[in-house]
Amino acid sequence: MATVPMDVRKVARCREIAAEIADDVQGYIDAHTTVGVERTILRAYGAEGVDDQGVPLVNLAVDRYREAGLLGRGIATYVGRALLGGATTLQDAAERVAFSPELDRGEGGPGVDAVREALRPHTEAALARIDKARNEREALKRRIAPGPTPQKYVIVATGNIYDDAVQAKAAAAAGADIVAVIRATAQSLLDYVPHGPTTEGYGGTFATQDNFRIIRRAVDEASEECGRYIQQTNYSSGLCMAEIAWMAAVERLDMLLNDAMYGILFRDINMCRTFVDQYVSRRFVARAGIVINTGEDNYLTTADAVEKAHTVLSSQFINEAFARRAGLREGQMGLGHAYEIDPWLEDSFLLEIAQAQLVRQIFDRHPIKWMPPTKHKTGDIFFAHVHDAMFDLVGVTTKQSIELLGMFSEAIQNPLLMDRYLALKATRYVFGAARHLGEEIQFKPDGIVARRAVQVLDEALALLEEVRRDTIWEAIAHGAFADVKRTRTGGKGYAGVLERDPDYCNPLLAALEKTS
């Protein structure tokens, strides 16, 4: 069995430090809420619809109370009071919150306990809706087993959800296990979730609840046809990460891209906002049994993959610590990493193996997500195909759980049907041909692979110590991850962060927190 040396005391030390780093932030999270969180709660209670301008009801309701300076008590407060004030349904209550002529300033009338009581059946219904989807998924997976690991993950991205559905089924037929509909590029910075099925989008297709449903139907059909459970994934990231997590929970998505720090680093979303949003999104994800995919692979697209390999590992420990605090089980933590070393560097393959094997051993119960080369891909598709094959070889040898397939057209376009077909075919070959390679070989105890693994863990431990000393807020401010620097109050969405009042009311979040 090919393993690399791994000092378990150092790994334990990394986890302890990451826990301290996350605890520091958790104190902040527990004292704050965001417009995104409050909209998620409204959606989860069943409020839906948009006004004649296409603005979601949940935005209208939440923005109204934020502008009035009243949102620190939680939107649930006002919904509950509307119910007690005669609203006939939850939807009616939400509409009153958004549109009633008089703003409810929360003065007099029913108190927090009465509000909680009025919301109780709705809180239970919200949980039941998530549980129903989870139970359906589990039943389906018992009947139709998923494919073997590494599970083959491909993306479709036509911009038109109906074309995406065709492409998703084609990908499943060609051997894909997981289908992601890549999101339109602008969506991460929208502070609302678009509504309805969409047929126009640049760089991808909007994540909407209807679009989730359309793809779910297509991949369920594909599961039946292929006799293999096909998983659906999307992006719980950006300013609406929590709302999308809830949508995914009830529409039975299997996975979500969800990272505690990605939005901060790569979309310049404010860190306070992201930390609060990621926590609440993960509370829903935990309950729904969804597997998250974290985004550490992205670090290596801006920072050097050899010099900064340890930043990926440090971040994985931090993502794990945050995920734990949101109630995720290890089996739900698809920590990400990538094959991004310059292919022309001598022994680059060995360095890739070292990192992949190290991550596999450290996170041995986690469905690790293995990402393909992108940074060093050029328009030479023939070379790119070889490059991807080497990546596949590392993936199968080191037993990665989820592998996003490399596309030879990576540097040119979103993948075409034939690009995915050829990637799946090549991967099927490599995975089959080298299925048990990892069990047959050993790495030299003091060879290049072993020494590299030791070095990366040592550097990751040192970085974690630094981050703890500085706190994560400061560490991000001076570019500890991905060479990107962000400040605590900078970035998008900071205005949507609010301190919780002492009588903050959020029975649904409290219920999610209690169950894990």
Partner 1 sequence: MHPTSPAKPLRAYGDREGDGMVQLSFVLQLPPSARAREAAKRFAEAHGIEEPIVATMEAAAEGFAFFVVYGHSKHAVDAASIDVPEVRTEALSREDIEHRIKTRLGRKIVVVGACTGSDAHTVGIDAILNYKGYAGDKGLESYKGFEAYNLGAQVENDQLAARARALKADAILVSQVITQRNCHKENGRALVELLEREGWRKDVIVLFGGPRVDHKLGLELGFDAGFGPGTKPSDVASYLVEQLCSRPASVP
List beta partners, residue 250.
none
The residue within the footprint of partner 1, chosen from 21, 61, 174, 475 (CB under 8 A), is: 174
- Which residues ranging from 248 to 287 are in contact with partner 1 (CB under 8 A)? 267-268
Residue 421: CB minimum distance to partner 1, A: 4
- The letter for the amino acid at 433 is A
- Which residues ranging from 4 to 43 are in contact with partner 1 (CB under 8 A)? none
CA 407 – CA 413 distance, rounded (Å): 10
Applying CB under 8 A, the span of 3-11, 21-29, 347-355, 374-382 interacting with partner 1 comes to: 374-382
CA 469 – CA 475 distance, rounded (Å): 9
- Which residues ranging from 433 to 472 are in contact with partner 1 (CB under 8 A)? none
Reading the block at residue 363, the tokens are 């996170």
Residue 348: CB minimum distance to partner 1, A: 16
Residue 507: CB minimum distance to partner 1, A: 36
Applying CB under 8 A, the span of 103-111, 346-354, 361-369, 406-414 interacting with partner 1 comes to: 406-414
Active-site residue (options: 169, 308, 369, 377): 369
Q: Which is nearer to partner 1, 75 or 168 (CB)?
A: 168
Reading the block at residue 498, the tokens are 């609010």
Has 297 been annotated as catalytic? Answer: yes
- Residues 6 or more apart whose CB falls under 8 angstroms from that of 64 comprise 97, 98, 103
What's the Rg (C-alpha) of the chain?
Answer: 23
- The letter for the amino acid at 264 is I
DSSP letter assigned to residue 270: -
Closest Cα to residue 371, out of 298, 266, 290?
298
Residue 417 in the binding site for partner 1 (CB under 8 A): yes
**Residue window 280-319: x/- pattern of binding to partner 1, with contact defined by CB under 8 A:** ---------------------xxx----------------
210 CB neighbour count, 10 Å cutoff: 16
Are 34 and 273 in contact by the 8 Å Cβ rule? The answer is: yes
Reading the block at residue 199, the tokens are 């047929």
Residue 422 in the binding site for partner 1 (CB under 8 A): yes
144 CB neighbour count, 10 Å cutoff: 15
Dihedrals φ, ψ of 168, to 5°? -65, -45
The residue within the footprint of partner 1, chosen from 54, 109, 148, 203 (CB under 8 A), is: 203
Residue 103 in the binding site for partner 1 (CB under 8 A): no
List beta partners, residue 146.
229
Q: Which is nearer to partner 1, 417 or 462 (CB)?
A: 417
Active-site residue (options: 297, 388, 392, 419): 297
The residue within the footprint of partner 1, chosen from 173, 434, 448, 477 (CB under 8 A), is: 173
Residue 418: CB minimum distance to partner 1, A: 5
- Which residues ranging from 128 to 157 are in contact with partner 1 (CB under 8 A)? none
Dihedrals φ, ψ of 480, to 5°? -65, -25
> DSSP labels for 203-253?
SS----HHHHHHHHHHHHHHHHHHTSBPEEEEE--GGGHHHHHHHHHHTT-
Q: Which is nearer to partner 1, 128 or 186 (CB)?
A: 186
Residue 483 in the binding site for partner 1 (CB under 8 A): yes
Applying CB under 8 A, the span of 96-104, 130-138, 357-365, 408-416 interacting with partner 1 comes to: 408-416
Are 261 and 274 in contact by the 8 Å Cβ rule? The answer is: yes
Q: Burial level of 342, CB count in 10 A (0-12/13-18/19+)? A: middle
Run of H or E residues at 138:
helix 112-143
Residue 29: CB minimum distance to partner 1, A: 26
The residue within the footprint of partner 1, chosen from 68, 103, 186, 433 (CB under 8 A), is: 186
Residue 343 in the binding site for partner 1 (CB under 8 A): no
Applying CB under 8 A, what is the total number of residues that bind partner 1? 30
Closest Cα to residue 239, out of 280, 293, 201?
280
Residue 154: CB minimum distance to partner 1, A: 12
Residue 441: CB minimum distance to partner 1, A: 33
The CA–CA distances, whole Å, from 373 to 201, 261, 271, 392, 438 equal 25, 21, 28, 10, 21
Has 262 been annotated as catalytic? Answer: yes
Active-site residue (options: 65, 153, 262, 504): 262
Residue 227: CB minimum distance to partner 1, A: 14
Has 369 been annotated as catalytic? Answer: yes
Are 323 and 332 in contact by the 8 Å Cβ rule? The answer is: yes
The residue within the footprint of partner 1, chosen from 379, 441, 447, 478 (CB under 8 A), is: 379
Residue 162: CB minimum distance to partner 1, A: 15
- Residues 6 or more apart whose CB falls under 8 angstroms from that of 121 comprise none
Residue ranges that bind partner 1, judged by CB under 8 A: 159, 169-171, 173-174, 184-186, 188-189, 202-203, 267-268, 301-303, 375, 378-379, 411-412, 414, 416-418, 421-422, 483
Give catalytic residue positions: 262, 297, 369
